[in-house]
Structures are given as structure tokens and as C-alpha cells.
């Protein structure tokens, strides 16, 4: 094991206005998991993209088994046994699993033989713990299953080097466990794994070595055996980090109700995506809605924000009914919303950061561009947003950085006299580095102190537990469990997320908590 | 009901379907790769006029057809270059192609405007089969291009659904980013299929002068068939065999006048001339409604240039 399976040698990559990777050296050996750790925009995805052939280094080069190699495209990468699972999945939604797996495979016969493909997919699934139905259509799969398809795809092409870009960001704890079993099976089979994650616990448990990046440069490399979470966090942020943020428990009691919905129901394709949901959210509290992806979080959030109309039930913001009045009415009643897909519903990719900031500012005849620019400038410093400037297009930002912009826009005046009083946030810290996550948690807590009410919708249990005063679990569109965060164990919540009813064990009765 | 007139009309509809089907099959290939080409009418005109010139010069039917196909292909490569390499707006580029094609064919066809062509495709009767009532004249007494078109549709359906290359093609139209990461050469696939689209449109144009009216007339030869073909791809929800069936319907609509007149029904010629454009408007409505577009099966990345470095 003297030559690395893959290496970047003094690799530099520039984008207009950004030095994304600055003379980066990085090696991975067969049979090991090497994690890249770093803040948002540090250049992790860019490094991985160079290793798989998606981007080409401007300077420096990539080596495979010690030999310099030129990867002009992912096709070249795959031909050399290098495969990447992207932060945003790359699957054709209309295709079946099998079709996605063999797409672009030069070793397939010209006439496709479905049965051969299906057998091999099953074999790979068996061997690496990735059970998947080859005939299922991608559009019908859960996020966790889609990720399995991504990995199967690469293994089918005999990838020896696998690059996993934030694979756990979208998974439930159970799915993360399953993924790690797969990763271990892959390293046991002599594959080299590059892993990217912001979650230090995971990093410690799965990887052999960790490389830390800051602002495009490698700032350290450690073996996990010689380090701990605290040390990693410091390397990453460049300063000591508060290890455990603790939510100050909200004052219970009879503060005014800021968001209330009763019997909210929406059916999509003949099924109740949201099924008779009651929520009461009071001033000064944070409610977290947990659940496995696809159990109604998204439609529920859109209903509450007024984007979609409901089939039955009512929504009231600040005491005034906004049921089926549209998103502007909800906003005017004092509700802010941070949607799940940041680029799309949240930000306009083709507009500058300043213009994106203006989108939800008071609508006067003339826009206040100067004010917005000042606000963006402030956010860039406060949130440490990596961007060439206030006029850069939103789509050029890295995953975490675009999220920071969106949060900055919606959180700015939250809970102040004339700002919104209620905010609905989907996965507020997903994809954020620990520094930024800590900052956002601080903001949400601060907004609560100012008297705002916060509704968090997330698939990440840790996220919900670290932020929320109360937790509600959505399962198949219904609230399966509700209670104070302190009264519920991880197991209880996990079981409810999986649809196992455990009414008897719950510390607080739903009725009591709802009131 | 005048039976013979009706049967004759049906038989003529089948022949009239051929150029529509050819052009639509070509457009289908291009759109499956994610490239919308509104230049069909222009490519057909170029195909028709080149076919006429070569047919006139050589007297060879097949050489003329080949020339028409080649003309269409080369002409389509302009659109491929603009929309794939330069990532231009496909609607603008396609419309420009039609305008350019109209001008170019007028120029090339100046010397032959209104002249007749000596060589043309003739129906061949399949012996006794041609005498079967209804089916005989419809299916067993057509010219070779009709049978070729049916075979093309079958081949394309097979290609799309069963072959490795067809899978790559569909992926490029659905999600070029995914296709790229999986090692499909997105640009090459788009180029090839946009140009193939031109080949078919060129053939369709050639057939207009070689098989239907053996004469060239700048505004009479295509008469909006290119726009009908565009609409047909959408109505057939991007399925080749449905394109074939739909082409027969449109072919019938073009020939029905003959039969209806016999029945004493008059449809104003202006109405028929307007039809292609009315259909195009309808298609643009579908095009503008994203939800509807998805539901009827439009390739998800249709009309969107692919840029690897961008997110
Ligand atoms: N295609 C691109 N065009 C322009 N700038 C880019 C592009 N890709 C990345 N960048 C910039 O390069 C820097 C590094 O981005 P990268 O995506 O590698 O960060 P990251 O470490 O993966 O961050 P995150 O944790 O947020 O995903 C960022 O500042 C980003 O804005
Ligand atoms: Mg990234």
C-alpha cells in the first residue's frame, strides 16, 4: 500500500472570482476511508469533482495508482474506476433503477438485456448491503433508496475509488447506519473511499484519515485514531467551538398563539399527503417536525406557507385566517418561509445576491438596492459567506453558502417589531459547516427570545433535537407523536418515524402538548 | 356515401402522411436529445429544392432523395452548432433556421420555380394483395417511401427502447448532467440527433417534390407541413409509432377536401392553410405549461442548453 489509489497533486482550480482549490495535495489508499472536512465553500466538492473528471485542474494533476492521468470527463474517470456520488443526485427520474445503472456503460451489449442487468444489480446489492428493486422507477423511490442506486451504479461499473459528497446529509439515522455498513463492505473489498461530511461524529466513526480544508487550501491532515471531535472542529473553523449547543427551554404557559392549523388535509394523487394535522405554535417557542423524507413534510410546509391550497382544514397566522389565501397573505400576516430547495423556490439562481435579498423586502415603487446591498454585505461578514461579492449570481455559490444567503434574508428582521413573527424553516442547518450551523442555531434561539415562533421541518433528528423545544413526528402525513424534546428519547422518536406506534411509552400525551 | 371517392381519399391520405411522418420522426429524435428545432419547415424546403435540382440534373430518383437528405442534414448542423456548441436560445435559433431556409430555397430554386420534374416515386401494386377491398389500395399499392417510413418508425421505436445508444439518447434529453457523469458524450449525442432530425426532414422535403407534386414552388411545396410535424411530435407524446398514426390523421385532414367536396361539403382553402399555424399555437401553449409538458411526456431537459461547469 505504498502508492495511493488516487491522488491530487498540487491541484488548483479557479472559478471567476474564486480560488476554489489552491495547490491541493490529497491521497487515498485502497481499503481506507479518507474524509474531507471543511466549511461551506472550502472547496470540498470541487476537489472531489477534479478527482472524478468532472472538472479539470487549472494547475497540478491527478494521479491514479501513482501514474499521472488526465481525466477530461467523468467518462474518463469511470473508465479508470473512479465514481462519484454527488451532493445533488444525478439520476434520471423517469428511468428505472436498471436503466440508470447501465446508462453510459460501454461494456453493455448494444442490445440491452434486462435480465442480465437485474441479476447483477441484485448480486451487488447482496454483496454490499444495498437492496434495491431494479425495476422500480426513480421517481417513486425515497431519498435513501436513490442514494443506494447511485452507489450501485458506480459499483456496477467496477469503480475502485468512490467519492461520496455529503451522502449522510439527506439520510435518517437508520439509513446512515446502513450506509456505513456498505462503506465498510466496500473498503473490505479493497476500494478507496473519499467521504465528505460536516457531521463530526460520523467522520470519527467511519474514516481512517481526515483532511481539513479552509478557503481552498489544505490546512491539516490527521489520522482519526490521533484526534477527537473537538480538535477536528477547531482545525476546521480555526477557533475553538462550543461543543454542545443547548436549547434554553422555552417558557411554557399561555403565550399567544402565532401559528395554528386545524384538521389540515391535502390529498395528492388520491392519497392524503397531509392528513388531518393540528399544530399550535406559541410565541417564544420552537417546534420541530421530524420524519423520514416523503412523509408529508414538504406538502405540509407549503400548505402552512400558503403556497398550495388545502383540501380541508384551516391555517391562522397571528390570529388572522390565511386559509387558501396564497403566500403573500401569509407573508403579510407575519409569516416567513425558508423552503427545502434553496435554489428554485428559495433563491433565483440567475439573479445577484442583492436582487435575491430584495425579493421579500417591502414592495415599494422603487427598490432600495443600496439598503439591500448593505444587508448582503453584512450577511457576508456575519455568516462568513464565501462569494466574490454582493453582485455574484446566486447559482455560483456552494451548497452551504446559498443556504446562508437565504437564511440571512428570512431571519434578518424575525421577531422584531415590524418583522415576521413566525418562521417555517426546512432543514435550517442541513449542509452547513459547524461554524455556520452554530451561528444559525444562535439566530433562531435569539429570534425566539425576541418573541418569534419557529417551526422547523427536518429529516435530521439531531438537528431537530438540538433546536426544538417540542417535537412532532410526521408519518404518512399524520402526526404520529408529539411531545417536549426533553421528555422523548431518540428511540421513541425513531420508532415513530418508522411508523411503529408506541403510544403507551410516550411521556406526554399529544393533547397536552398541542395545547 | 361515394365509396370509391372515400377509398381513394384514404389511399391519398396515406401517401400524404409520408412527409409529415418523416419530418416528425426526425424532430422526435432531436427533441429526445433535448434540442427543440423549430427549423423543420426550413429544413424541408432546403431538402425539397436540393432534391429537385439533383433529380433534374441526374434523372436519378434515389440520388435526388439522397441529396435532399444530405441537404437537410447539413442545414440542421447549423442549428446543432448554434444550440449545442454556442448554447444559443433554441427557439430563436430554430426560427432563424426556418427563415434562412425559406430564403435559401427561394434562391436555389429561382431557375426551377413552376417547372415539372420528370422523375418521381410511383406506387407499386403488390399483385393480388392490392385487390383486397379497402386494405389493398391503402397498404399494398403505395410507393417505396411509404414502406420505408413505416420501417423507420419501427426502427426508431426499437432504438429508443431497447438499445444502449437509445438509452443514452433519452438520458441526454431527460437529464444531461446525469448522462454526462455516467460517461455519455452529451454534446456528441445532441449533434448526431439534431443532424439526424435534419436528415429526416430533408427526406420529407424531398418526398414532397419526388412523390407528391413533382414540381417546386416556394410557398406551395411545404405549405406548413414542417409546423404540422412539430405539433405532431407533441400530440404523439414523443412516441414514434404514435407519430406514424398521427401522421395518417393529419394526412387525411389534408386530403379530406377531395372527398368532402364530393359529399357537398366545402371547407374554405384558407381554413386549411391556417391549420398548421393554429396547431403550432396550441403546441406553444403546451410548451408554456410546464406541468402539462411533464405530464404528456416531454423530455425534461427539452430546450435547455447543457453547461457542465454551471449549477
Ligand atoms: N461552477 C462554479 N462556478 C463558480 N464558482 C464555483 C463553482 N463551483 C464552485 N464554485 C465556488 O468555489 C468555492 C468552493 O465550492 P465547493 O462547492 O467546492 O465548496 P464545498 O466545500 O463543497 O462547500 P459546501 O460544504 O457548501 O458544499 C465556492 O466559493 C463556490 O462558490
Ligand atoms: Mg459541497
Closest to B178 (Cβ–Cβ): which among A75, A78, A91? Answer: A91
- Residue B84 cell numbers, joined: 449545442
Q: What is the pLDDT of residue A506?
A: 42
Residue A474 forms beta bridges with which residues? A479
Euclidean distance between CA atoms A344 and A233, whole angstroms: 31
Q: What is the pLDDT of residues B224-264, one digit of tens each?
A: 899 999 999 998 999 999 999 999 988 888 887 777 777 77
Domain count, chain B: 1
The verdict on B128 touching A (C-beta cutoff 8 Å) is no
Q: What is the pLDDT of residue B310?
A: 53
Euclidean distance between CA atoms A201 and A229, whole angstroms: 7
Q: What is the pLDDT of residue A247?
A: 53
What parts of chain A have a pLDDT lower than 50?
243-244, 246, 504-515
**Cα A45 to ligand 1 centroid, rounded to whole Å:** 7
Ligand (nearest to CA of B309): 1
pLDDT, average across residues B102-113: 89
Q: Which of B154, B144, B156, B151 is nearest to B27 (CA)?
A: B156
With a pLDDT cut of 90, the percent of chain B lying above it is 56
Euclidean distance between CA atoms B184 and B207, whole angstroms: 34
Listing from the earlier edge strand, what are the strands of the sheet with A320-321?
Answer: A271-282, A257-268, A312-317, A320-321
- Residue B297 cell numbers, joined: 411526456
Euclidean distance between CA atoms B84 and B301, whole angstroms: 13
Highest mean pLDDT among A341-345, B3-7, B221-225 belongs to B221-225
Euclidean distance between CA atoms A437 and A416, whole angstroms: 22
Euclidean distance between CA atoms A55 and A92, whole angstroms: 21
Tell me how many residue pairs between chain A and chain B have CB atoms under 8 A apart: 83
Closest to A103 (Cβ–Cβ): which among B162, B179, B309? Answer: B179
What are the structural domain ranges in chain A?
Answer: 6-237, 257-514
**Contact between chains at A73 and B180 (C-beta distance less than 8 A):** yes
* Neighbouring residues of A113: CB distance < 8 A, sequence distance ≥ 6: none
3-class DSSP state of A309: coil
User: Does some domain include residue B129?
Assistant: no
The verdict on A72 touching B (C-beta cutoff 8 Å) is no
Residues A37 and A204: beta-carbon distance below 8 Å: no
**Cα A120 to ligand 1 centroid, rounded to whole Å:** 36
Q: What is the pLDDT of residue B10?
A: 87
- Residue B31 cell numbers, joined: 427533441
pLDDT, average across residues B98-121: 87
- Give residue B92's domain range: 3-123+134-310
Residues B104 and B76: beta-carbon distance below 8 Å: no
Q: What is the pLDDT of residues A48-60, one digit of tens each?
A: 999 999 999 999 9
**Contact between chains at B175 and A153 (C-beta distance less than 8 A):** no
Task: Indicate the DSSP class of residue A477.
Answer: T
**Contact between chains at A73 and B168 (C-beta distance less than 8 A):** no
Euclidean distance between CA atoms A423 and A283, whole angstroms: 11
User: Does some domain include residue B245?
Assistant: yes
Q: Which residues of chain A have a CB within 8 Å of the CB of B170?
A: 92, 95
Q: What is the pLDDT of residue B262?
A: 75
- Residue A92 main-chain phi, psi, to 5 deg: -90, 110
Q: Which of B236, B239, B232, B234 is nearest to B286 (CA)?
A: B234
Q: Tell which B residues from 137 to 196 touch A, by Cβ distance under 8 Å.
A: 162-165, 167-168, 170-171, 174-175, 177-185
Q: Between B120 and B243, where is the model more confident?
A: B243
Q: Which of B198, B259, B190 is nearest to B229 (CA)?
A: B198
Q: Which of B163, B173, B174, B153 is nearest to B243 (CA)?
A: B153
User: Does some domain include residue B61?
Assistant: yes
Q: Which of A78, A260, A42 is nearest to B183 (CA)?
A: A78
**Going by CA atoms, what residue is nearest to atom 25 of ligand 1?**
A40
Residues A148 and B204: beta-carbon distance below 8 Å: no
A13: left (phi over 0), alpha (psi -120 to 50) or beta: beta
* Neighbouring residues of A117: CB distance < 8 A, sequence distance ≥ 6: A98, A101, A102, A108, A134
Give the distance from CA A411 to its chain's centroid. 19
Q: Which chain B residue has its CA at the smallest distance from A77's CA?
A: B183
The length of chain A is 515
Q: What is the pLDDT of residue A514?
A: 38
The CATH number given to whatever domain includes residue B113 is 1.10.3470
Supply the DSSP string of B94-152, one letter for each residue: HHHHHHHHHHHHHHHTGGGTT-B-S-----EE-GGGGGSTTHHHHHSEE-HHHHHHHHH
pLDDT at B189 over 70: yes
Euclidean distance between CA atoms B122 and B102, whole angstroms: 28
Q: What is the pLDDT of residue B121?
A: 86
User: Does some domain include residue B183?
Assistant: yes
**Going by CA atoms, what residue is nearest to atom 27 of ligand 1?**
A399
* Neighbouring residues of B150: CB distance < 8 A, sequence distance ≥ 6: B244
**Contact between chains at B181 and A74 (C-beta distance less than 8 A):** yes
- Residue A455 cell numbers, joined: 417551526
Euclidean distance between CA atoms A459 and B170, whole angstroms: 33
Query: What is the CATH code of the structural domain delimited by A6-237?
Result: 3.40.50.300
User: Does some domain include residue B128?
Assistant: no
Euclidean distance between CA atoms B216 and A258, whole angstroms: 75
pLDDT, average across residues B19-39: 97
CATH topology classification for A257-514 = Rossmann fold (3.40.50)
Q: Which residues lie with the beta carbon below 6 Å from any ligand 1 atom?
A: A 15, 18, 20, 38, 40-46, 386, 396-401, 431; B 309-311
Q: How many other CB atoms sit within 10 Å of the CB of residue A134?
A: 21
**Contact between chains at B164 and A78 (C-beta distance less than 8 A):** no
Burial class (CB in 10 A: 0-12, 13-18, 19+), B165: middle
ipTM, 2 dp: 0.84
Task: Indicate the DSSP class of residue A189.
Answer: T
Q: What is the pLDDT of residue B309?
A: 63
Q: Which of B240, B251, B262 is nearest to B211 (CA)?
A: B251
- Residue B39 cell numbers, joined: 427549423
- Residue A506 cell numbers, joined: 410516550
The verdict on A395 touching B (C-beta cutoff 8 Å) is yes
HSE of A234, CA atoms in CB hemisphere, 13 A: 8
Residue A321 forms beta bridges with which residues? A316
Amino acid at each position: 500500500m505504498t502508492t495511493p489509489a488516487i491522488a491530487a497533486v498540487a491541484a488548483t482550480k479557479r472559478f471567476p472570482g474564486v480560488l476554489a482549490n489552491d495547490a491541493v495535495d490529497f491521497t487515498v489508499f485502497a481499503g481506507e476511508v479518507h474524509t474531507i472536512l471543511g466549511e461551506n465553500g472550502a472547496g470540498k466538492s470541487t476537489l472531489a469533482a477534479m478527482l472524478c473528471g468532472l472538472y479539470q485542474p487549472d494547475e497540478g494533476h491527478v494521479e491514479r495508482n501513482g501514474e499521472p492521468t488526465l481525466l477530461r470527463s467523468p467518462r474518463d474517470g469511470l473508465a479508470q474506476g473512479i465514481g462519484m456520488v454527488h451532493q445533488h443526485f444525478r439520476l434520471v427520474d423517469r428511468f428505472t433503477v436498471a436503466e440508470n445503472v447501465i446508462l453510459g456503460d460501454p461494456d453493455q451489449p448494444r442490445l440491452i438485456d434486462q435480465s442480465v442487468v437485474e441479476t447483477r444489480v441484485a448480486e451487488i446489492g447482496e454483496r454490499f448491503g444495498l437492496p434495491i428493486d431494479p425495476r422500480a422507477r426513480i421517481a417513486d423511490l425515497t431519498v435513501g433508496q436513490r442514494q443506494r442506486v447511485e452507489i450501485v451504479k458506480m459499483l456496477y461499473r467496477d469503480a475502485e475509488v468512490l467519492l461520496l459528497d455529503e451522502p449522510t446529509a439527506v439520510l435518517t439515522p437508520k439509513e446512515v447506519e446502513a450506509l456505513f455498513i456498505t462503506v465498510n463492505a466496500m473498503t473490505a473489498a479493497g476500494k478507496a473511499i473519499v467521504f465528505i461530511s460536516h457531521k463530526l461524529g460520523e467522520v470519527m466513526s467511519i474514516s481512517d484519515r481526515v483532511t481539513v480544508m479552509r478557503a481552498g487550501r489544505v490546512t491539516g491532515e490527521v489520522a482519526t485514531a490521533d484526534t477527537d471531535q473537538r480538535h477536528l472542529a477547531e482545525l476546521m473553523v480555526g477557533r475553538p467551538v462550543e461543543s454542545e449547543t443547548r436549547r434554553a427551554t422555552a417558557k411554557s404557559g399561555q403565550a399567544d398563539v402565532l401559528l395554528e392549523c386545524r384538521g389540515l388535509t391535502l390529498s395528492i394523487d388520491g392519497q392524503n399527503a397531509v392528513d388531518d394535522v393540528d399544530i399550535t405554535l406559541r410565541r417564544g417557542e420552537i417546534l420541530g417536525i421530524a420524519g423520514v423524507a416523503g412523509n408529508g413534510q414538504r406538502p405540509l410546509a407549503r400548505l402552512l406557507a400558503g403556497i398550495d391550497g388545502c383540501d380541508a382544514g384551516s391555517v391562522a397566522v397571528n390570529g388572522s385566517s390565511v386559509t387558501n389565501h396564497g403566500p403573500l397573505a401569509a407573508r403579510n400576516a407575519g409569516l416567513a418561509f425558508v423552503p427545502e430547495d434553496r435554489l428554485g423556490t428559495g433563491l433565483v439562481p440567475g439573479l445577484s445576491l442583492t436582487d435575491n435579498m430584495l425579493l421579500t423586502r417591502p414592495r415599494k415603487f422603487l427598490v432600495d438596492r443600496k439598503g439591500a446591498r448593505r444587508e448582503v454585505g453584512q450577511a457576508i461578514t456575519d455568516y462568513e459567506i464565501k462569494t466574490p461579492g454582493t453582485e455574484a449570481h446566486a447559482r455560483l455559490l456552494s451548497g452551504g453558502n446559498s443556504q446562508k444567503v437565504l437564511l440571512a434574508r428570512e431571519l434578518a428582521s424575525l421577531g422584531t417589531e415590524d418583522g415576521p413573527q413566525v418562521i417555517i424553516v426546512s432543514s435550517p442547518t442541513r449542509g452547513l459547516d459547524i461554524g455556520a450551523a452554530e451561528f444559525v442555531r444562535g439566530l433562531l434561539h435569539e429570534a425566539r427570545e425576541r418573541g418569534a415562533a419557529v417551526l422547523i421541518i427536518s429529516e435530521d433528528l439531531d438537528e431537530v433535537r438540538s433546536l426544538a423545544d417540542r417535537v412532532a413526528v410526521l408519518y404518512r402525513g399524520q402526526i404520529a407523536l408529539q411531545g417536549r424534546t426533553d421528555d422523548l428519547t431518540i428511540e421513541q422518536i425513531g420508532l415513530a418515524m418508522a411508523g411503529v406506534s408506541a403510544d403507551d411509552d410516550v411521556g406526554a400525551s399529544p393533547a397536552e402538548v398541542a395545547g | 356515401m361515394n365509396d370509391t371517392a372515400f377509398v381513394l381519399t384514404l389511399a391519398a391520405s396515406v401517401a400524404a402522411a409520408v412527409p409529415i411522418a418523416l419530418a416528425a420522426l426526425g424532430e422526435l429524435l432531436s427533441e429526445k436529445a433535448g434540442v427543440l428545432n423549430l427549423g423543420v419547415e426550413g429544413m424541408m424546403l432546403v431538402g425539397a429544392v436540393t432534391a429537385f435540382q439533383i433529380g433534374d440534373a441526374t434523372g436519378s430518383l434515389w440520388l435526388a432523395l439522397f441529396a435532399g437528405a444530405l441537404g437537410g442534414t447539413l442545414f440542421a448542423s447549423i442549428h446543432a452548432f448554434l444550440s449545442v456548441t454556442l448554447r444559443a436560445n433554441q427557439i430563436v435559433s430554430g426560427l432563424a433556421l426556418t427563415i434562412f431556409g425559406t430564403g435559401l430555397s427561394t434562391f436555389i430554386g429561382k431557375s426551377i420555380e413552376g417547372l415539372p420534374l420528370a422523375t418521381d416515386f410511383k406506387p407499386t401494386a403488390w399483385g393480388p394483395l392490392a385487390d383486397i377491398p379497402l386494405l389493398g389500395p391503402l397498404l399494398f399499392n403505395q410507393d417505396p417511401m411509404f414502406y420505408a417510413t413505416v420501417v423507420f418508425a419501427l426502427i426508431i421505436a426499437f432504438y429508443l427502447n431497447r438499445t444502449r445508444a437509445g438509452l443514452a439518447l433519452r438520458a441526454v434529453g431527460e437529464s444531461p448532467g446525469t448522462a454526462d457523469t455516467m460517461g455519455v458524450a452529451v454534446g456528441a449525442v445532441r449533434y448526431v440527433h439534431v443532424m439526424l432530425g435534419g436528415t429526416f426532414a430533408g427526406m420529407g422535403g424531398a418526398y414532397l417534390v419526388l412523390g407528391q407534386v413533382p414540381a417546386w414552388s416556394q410557398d406551395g411545396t411545404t405549405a406548413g407541413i414542417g409546423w404540422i410535424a412539430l405539433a405532431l411530435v407533441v400530440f404523439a407524446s414523443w412516441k414514434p409509432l404514435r407519430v406514424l398514426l398521427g401522421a395518417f390523421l393529419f394526412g387525411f385532414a389534408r386530403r379530406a377536401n377531395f372527398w368532402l367536396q364530393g359529399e357537398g361539403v366545402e371547407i374554405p382553402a384558407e381554413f386549411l392553410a391556417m391549420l398548421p399555424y393554429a396547431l403550432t399555437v396550441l403546441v406553444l401553449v403546451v410548451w408554456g405549461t410546464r406541468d402539462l409538458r411533464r405530464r404528456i411526456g416531454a423530455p425534461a431537459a427539452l430546450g435547455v442548453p447543457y453547461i457542465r461547469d454551471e449549477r
